[in-house]
Structure 1
Amino acid sequence: MHQVGRPLAAALSALTAVTVMGVFPASATPETAAEALTGEQAAATRMRGMSLEQKVGQLFVTYAYGPAADSAHPKNLAEYGVATPAEVVRKYHLGGVIYFNWTDSFANPKQVAALSNGLQRAAMSSGARLPLLISTDQEQGVVTRFSSPATLFPGSMALGAARDAGLARQAAEITGRELRAVGINQNFAPDADVNVNPANPVIGVRSFSSDPKLVAQQVTAQVKGYQQGRFGQSVSATVKHFPGHGDTNQDSHYTLPVINHTPEQWRQLDAPPFQAAIKAGVDSIMSAHIVTPKLDDSGEPATLSPKMLTGLLRGQLGYRGVIITDSLQMEAVRIKHPDAEIPVLALKAGADMLLMPKNLDVAIKAVLDAVRSGEISERRIDESLLRVLLLKIKRGALTHPLVDEAAVDKVVGIPAHLATAQQVTDRTVTAVRNDAGLLPLRAKPGKVLVAGSSSATALGQKLTARGVTPTVQVTGDKPTEAVIAKAVAAAEGQDLVLVLTNRATTDAQQRELVKRLVATGKPVVGVAVRDPYDVAIEDAKTWLTTYSATAVSMESLTKVLFGEAKPSGKLPVGVPVLGDPAQIRYPFGFGLTW
């Protein structure tokens, strides 16, 4: 068994003092604080007795396939050599598990709660007997894993349009409460990137804004919202993607983006949201797989760069919490190095938790070999392990790992949460153009064509509920000539045409659909249901943007169309002229109302 060095043992013995100084929520009672101290003592004892294999396993987070802890799945056998999610946890002594829809983790709330409890029992009955961090990406909006009947919000940029930190905090509080009710104790949100590049293919509306002050305000609110609440009932927030993924036109899932911000530009533009999150006490920060040559001349992505993680994040910004990598399966981090080198380099750079390596067996063996050869000291492993344990203690994951499966329906998707989500979303719709004075509709149209993205179906349902007869044509994000012609033909005999676009500035076929529908002479309302940059398409004289295709956003949109609610959102980004990014068509803060 491997022993902890004296400095680290001293740190562990000082956990009581750390608790008093604010590791735990201010709302913690003496009783829950006592429980926390018991958890700390147990964690310290277990850490001193953990094997190297168990310590290293605690630094890894991965997924497992199947809706139940003990359900066999062939993909588990193929990737891990064992059949069930519980066996994956036990085999590798995992510190964390992440849930996705494609791993069959989300069927319904009670199923998720049972899965979480099953995995926690597997973790606590084997190896180091330490509960898991169970995570997901519930940013809301375009990145939503836990769907209806969970309460859904429209996402970050929509909240930025509302300009109200209180609404952002409410959204995080409700989202966090529902996640914790099903056993998820860590959320990889909010996004702290400042989206200054309209061509950004991977961030966009996941960002709150192009303005660093607004992003910092919203990030602070959401960190506090996720991490507030009674001990053992909040979730850890994780801001991402350090040092800032907002100014790129490349997707790090597929290639290695380069951002050429100078140190001064970085301090003014990218750093403020991360500084705000650190000040707010964020539990973890996720690294980005991007190269920033003017900040770091190593040529390495930030995830693998000591200068970025240890020097900039820990040294200059003073961050003391957990640093977790973005997925190590993304091509950006795998371009320059074989898979066996990546986790070792990430740990040497300063990361604490390693997310989703391409080959978990290879990754863990590489770290073990690096420690045994002296390339990485065991003390370095202990430093990260201590941070992970502190995080688990801080959020009650160590002392409150299990959830009440019978109580899930009393928390997830309850009427009070749904009502709040609608009230929040009603504040986000932004009216950008109303040249013909078409809106709000002065009379209820008898027949309406709803064409465009998949959200057309949800909008059609909202119209039907108001006594309107809609013709719905989901033309998709790349409509063919035949699909466009069918939509144009369907516009005949209609009183109104609603065309919903999804990143149409990057798709000529969607722009052609808008142009041809306008050419019919029918009243046309364009609605950008994702990136607001679509409102720069000149053909339509009436434009709204919802920043979100969720059903709750379609309800808010319908209210605005019919004058049941006024559009109160303000653009959280500047919208450039189509084809000329240097010229702004609609400035930051612009928004009409009536």
Structure 2
Amino acid sequence: MSITPSERERRTTRVLRIVAFMMVTALVVTMALLGLIWQHNRQQSAPIDEKSSAASATPAAPVTLERSAAPQPDTSPEGKARRAVAAMSVEERVGQLVMAPLFAGSDPSTLADFISSRHVGSVLIIGNWTDGTASVRTATDALQSYASENNKLIMATDQEGGLVQHLTGPGFDTMPSAIEQGSMTTDQLRQSAAVWGGQLNQAGINVDLAPVMGTVTVDRASNAPIGALSRDFGLDANGTSEHGAAFVQGMRDAGVGAAVKHYPGLGAVTGNTDFTADGITDTTTTLDGAEIGAFHRVIADAQPAMVMMSLATYQAIDGSVPAAFSSAIIDGELRGKQGYQGVVISDSLSAAAVSGTPADQLGVRLVEAGGDLACIGANDYVAPILDGLNARAAADPAFAAKVTRSATRVMTLKYQPGLAK
């Protein structure tokens, strides 16, 4: 069969394409082989130190993402207090809000269960302790032994001078009355208070429930709680604030806290709140008056450890309840307007002035109003006050939050001098 010219041309084209493909493939393979041979020869001829350097090269460190620094814990007393309280049970927090009494002649072991099992965090050394600093120190050391190593007790007493000096005997000076202290210069009073505070420190006392900051505005003899007992400085409001600050500072110089009392003042009532519910309504004290202003200046300038609330009723401020139960006075004025965020302690809740309130509600009403520490002057009130606080905290989350805030303020006070760790 004959082949046409067009068929011959197509066959020739296919042959040429095949030949071209084979030649390109051979060229690529040849170049690849030459590259391998060149690389092998280069490695064989490289200097010894270059090989060594390549072999010993340290691999690059892995890349890490930069992170922001972890937040550091707040090491202030308040920061430590918040963490400590967060780790407490409700019962432990409630215990920090109670100051139980130990009377002269009583065995410290009578409070052992309250401190170790019910977490009471403060003790009031009360009565006529006449055997001197060593005797009081024995009692305070025993009481502290019942407390946790990391959370020791606030140990308080009433050591004003004159008729109100609970601790006497060897090692304790006989303190002049407050009205005599008012005749000193402020420098003299500060120096004297530092001496008296040093004696308290030696006895294991870390808070003095003094000075009285009331300014007597009525006949002294008719003012049963203060003027008749010479418990005030005998000065006007300005002099009272200056001498009160000197007393607070002198105590601090000795390592002892002070509690100014009885806010907003007992200088205009006739009845003594410890013994009666009559004659304890103040009709003259106002929020912008000089008498309450004396407290405010000392709180701002001297920064006392505590403010003690009066059990009188103040008609021109909040005539419905005693000051210790008044949110208008504590949360509204003292904390809100004046900015005080320290410990607010009550006057003794076993006093006659509040005897109409059920015992298990006394601490509740104090904390509801913004107070922190229930001072108790009779042993049979301790358990009911603890029970009432615990019951209300268990039933009312809003109240439990107030208990937490109060416990934090008390623990902050403890961290400041190292009572808590």
TM-score between both structures, scaled by the size of structure 2 = 0.76
Aligned partner of 1:203 among 209, 223, 226: 226
Is 1:110 the counterpart of 2:134 in the alignment? yes
Give the deviation of 1:372 after TM superposition.
1.3
Aligned to 1:293: 315
Contact map agreement 2:102 2:108 (CA 8 A) in 1: no
Contact map agreement 2:216 2:223 (CA 8 A) in 1: yes
C-alpha separation in 2, matches of 1:349 and 1:193: 22
Q: CA, structure 1 residues 249+380, in 2 after alignment: closer, same or farther (shift >3 Å)? A: same
C-alpha separation in 2, matches of 1:216 and 1:116: 32
Q: CA, structure 1 residues 270+66, in 2 after alignment: closer, same or farther (shift >3 Å)? A: closer
C-alpha separation in 1, matches of 2:296 and 2:174: 25
Aligned to 1:251: 272
Give the deviation of 1:269 after TM superposition.
2.6
Aligned to 2:12: none
Offset from partner CA, 1:138-175 (integer Å, 9 cap, x none): 0011100111321122121111123x101111121111
Is 1:119 the counterpart of 2:143 in the alignment? yes
Is 1:350 the counterpart of 2:374 in the alignment? no
Offset from partner CA, 1:393-452 (integer Å, 9 cap, x none): 2123235xxxxxxxxxxxxxxxxxxxxxxxxxxxxxxxxxxxxxxxxxxxxxxxxxxxxx
- Partner amino acid, structure 2, of 1:171: S
Aligned to 2:98: 60
C-alpha separation in 2, matches of 1:15 and 1:194: 39
Contact map agreement 2:151 2:419 (CA 8 A) in 1: no
Aligned partner of 1:373 among 363, 370, 395: 395
C-alpha separation in 2, matches of 1:142 and 1:64: 20
Q: CA, structure 1 residues 202+66, in 2 after alignment: closer, same or farther (shift >3 Å)? A: closer
Comparing both chains, which one has the higher relative contact order based on Cα–Cα distances under 8 Å and sequence gaps of 6 or more?
Answer: 2
Give the deviation of 1:108 after TM superposition.
2.9
- Partner amino acid, structure 1, of 2:156: S
Offset from partner CA, 1:457-489 (integer Å, 9 cap, x none): xxxxxxxxxxxxxxxxxxxxxxxxxxxxxxxxx
Q: CA, structure 1 residues 252+244, in 2 after alignment: closer, same or farther (shift >3 Å)? A: same
C-alpha separation in 1, matches of 2:85 and 2:307: 23
C-alpha separation in 2, matches of 1:346 and 1:267: 24
Q: CA, structure 1 residues 381+184, in 2 after alignment: closer, same or farther (shift >3 Å)? A: same
Aligned to 1:171: 192
Bigger-Rg structure (1/2): 2
C-alpha separation in 1, matches of 2:266 and 2:360: 25
Is 1:267 the counterpart of 2:289 in the alignment? yes
Q: CA, structure 1 residues 113+214, in 2 after alignment: closer, same or farther (shift >3 Å)? A: same
Aligned to 1:152: 174
Contact map agreement 2:124 2:156 (CA 8 A) in 1: yes
Aligned to 2:59: none
Q: CA, structure 1 residues 382+50, in 2 after alignment: closer, same or farther (shift >3 Å)? A: same
Could you say what secondary structure the match of 1:300 adopts? strand
C-alpha separation in 1, matches of 2:295 and 2:391: 37
Q: CA, structure 1 residues 338+70, in 2 after alignment: closer, same or farther (shift >3 Å)? A: closer
C-alpha separation in 2, matches of 1:243 and 1:13: 37
- Partner amino acid, structure 1, of 2:311: H
Q: CA, structure 1 residues 65+249, in 2 after alignment: closer, same or farther (shift >3 Å)? A: closer
Could you say what secondary structure the match of 1:111 adopts? helix
The 5-angstrom pairing of residues 414-563 of structure 1 reads none
C-alpha separation in 2, matches of 1:255 and 1:124: 39
Gaps of 5+ in 1: 1-11, 20-39, 72-83, 400-594
Q: CA, structure 1 residues 182+300, in 2 after alignment: closer, same or farther (shift >3 Å)? A: same
- Partner amino acid, structure 2, of 1:349: A
C-alpha separation in 2, matches of 1:119 and 1:261: 42
Could you say what secondary structure the match of 1:195 adopts? coil
Aligned to 2:63: none
Aligned to 2:16: none
Aligned to 1:482: none
The 5-angstrom pairing of residues 322-333 of structure 1 reads 322-333=343-354
Aligned partner of 1:223 among 248, 256, 270: 248
Aligned to 1:553: none
Is 1:242 the counterpart of 2:263 in the alignment? yes
Contact map agreement 1:208 1:215 (CA 8 A) in 2: yes
- Partner amino acid, structure 2, of 1:113: R
Aligned to 2:113: 87
Give the deviation of 1:67 after TM superposition.
5.2
Give the deviation of 1:342 after TM superposition.
1.7
C-alpha separation in 2, matches of 1:44 and 1:263: 35
Contact map agreement 1:69 1:86 (CA 8 A) in 2: no
Could you say what secondary structure the match of 2:294 adopts? helix
Contact map agreement 1:67 1:111 (CA 8 A) in 2: no
Q: CA, structure 1 residues 324+277, in 2 after alignment: closer, same or farther (shift >3 Å)? A: same
Contact map agreement 2:133 2:169 (CA 8 A) in 1: no
Give the deviation of 1:44 after TM superposition.
5.1
Gaps of 5+ in 2: 1-71
C-alpha separation in 1, matches of 2:289 and 2:98: 31
Q: CA, structure 1 residues 108+367, in 2 after alignment: closer, same or farther (shift >3 Å)? A: same
Contact map agreement 2:345 2:373 (CA 8 A) in 1: yes
- Partner amino acid, structure 2, of 1:208: F
Aligned partner of 1:282 among 304, 320, 339: 304
C-alpha separation in 2, matches of 1:334 and 1:376: 26
Contact map agreement 2:318 2:329 (CA 8 A) in 1: yes
Q: CA, structure 1 residues 262+218, in 2 after alignment: closer, same or farther (shift >3 Å)? A: closer
C-alpha separation in 1, matches of 2:419 and 2:147: 12
Q: CA, structure 1 residues 330+281, in 2 after alignment: closer, same or farther (shift >3 Å)? A: same
Aligned to 2:419: 397
Q: CA RMSD in A?
A: 2.3
Give the deviation of 1:203 after TM superposition.
0.6
Aligned to 1:192: 213
- Partner amino acid, structure 2, of 1:207: D
Could you say what secondary structure the match of 2:183 adopts? helix
Aligned partner of 2:74 among 3, 6, 14: 14
Is 1:100 the counterpart of 2:126 in the alignment? yes
Aligned to 2:15: none
C-alpha separation in 1, matches of 2:284 and 2:296: 16
- Partner amino acid, structure 1, of 2:385: A
Aligned to 2:31: none
Could you say what secondary structure the match of 1:251 adopts? coil
Q: CA, structure 1 residues 87+67, in 2 after alignment: closer, same or farther (shift >3 Å)? A: farther
Offset from partner CA, 1:208-259 (integer Å, 9 cap, x none): 1240011011001111111124xxxx01100000011111111111125011
Contact map agreement 1:86 1:118 (CA 8 A) in 2: no
Contact map agreement 1:258 1:292 (CA 8 A) in 2: yes
C-alpha separation in 2, matches of 1:115 and 1:209: 35
Which structure's residues are more often helix, by fraction? Answer: 2
- Partner amino acid, structure 1, of 2:271: Q
Aligned to 1:567: none
